[in-house]
């Protein structure tokens, strides 16, 4: 107690102490680490790139066919695979359909099997 009967005022809490209103307004939880879709390593904010809801390092975002580095304006995606636009067009045009051009069975084969099973296959 100081002279005059007054108690010394309590200093305000440090802005970063757990009791301060500033610290309570921020979440103290650790952020979830994001993993690169291509290399499965941690992606930090400065090297983060998001394409079709997939997270990549800038350096890992490459064409599946030729491994050329892609940018958000220079890629095409199909079934979760990423291609440069020239190879996407080349692969599509060479087979004439998206499924066969990318190593999948043609969707129309499903129709043929259904027609054979039901006995209504037309000539």
Give the per-residue pLDDT at 120. Answer: 56
The answer to whether 83 touches 103, Cβ cutoff 8 Å, is no
> Which residues have C-beta within 8 Å of that of residue 24, sequence separation ≥ 6?
18
Per-residue pLDDT of the chain (123 residues; tens, 9 = 90+): 555 555 556 666 555 555 555 555 555 555 678 999 999 999 999 999 999 999 999 999 999 999 999 999 999 998 889 999 999 888 877 555 555 555 666 666 666 666 666 665 554
Give the per-residue pLDDT at 46. Answer: 92
- pTM confidence score: 0.52
Give the per-residue pLDDT at 48. Answer: 94
For 64, 89, 102, 110, 122, the CA distances from 80, given in Å and listed in that order, are: 11, 16, 11, 22, 35
Neighbouring C-beta atoms of residue 81, cutoff 10 Å: 13
DSSP 15-57: TTSTTSHHHHHS--SPPPPEE-TTT-SEE-GGGEEEETTEEEE
Helical (H) or strand (E) element with 110 = helix 108-118
Domains and CATH numbers, the chain: 45-94 (2.10.110.10)
């Amino acid at each position: 107690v100081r002279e005059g009967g007054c108690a010394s005022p309590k200093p305000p809490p440090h802005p970063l102490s757990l009791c301060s209103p500033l610290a309570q307004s921020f979440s103290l939880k650790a952020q979830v680490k994001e993993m690169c879709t291509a290399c499965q390593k941690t992606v930090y904010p400065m090297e983060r790139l998001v394409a079709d809801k997939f997270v990549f390092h800038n350096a890992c975002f490459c064409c599946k066919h030729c491994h050329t580095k892609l940018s958000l304006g220079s890629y095409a995606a199909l079934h979760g695979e990423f291609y440069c636009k020239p190879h996407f067009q080349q692969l599509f045009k060479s087979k004439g359909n998206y499924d066969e051009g990318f190593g999948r069975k043609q969707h129309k084969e499903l129709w043929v099997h259904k027609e054979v099973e039901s006995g209504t296959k037309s000539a």
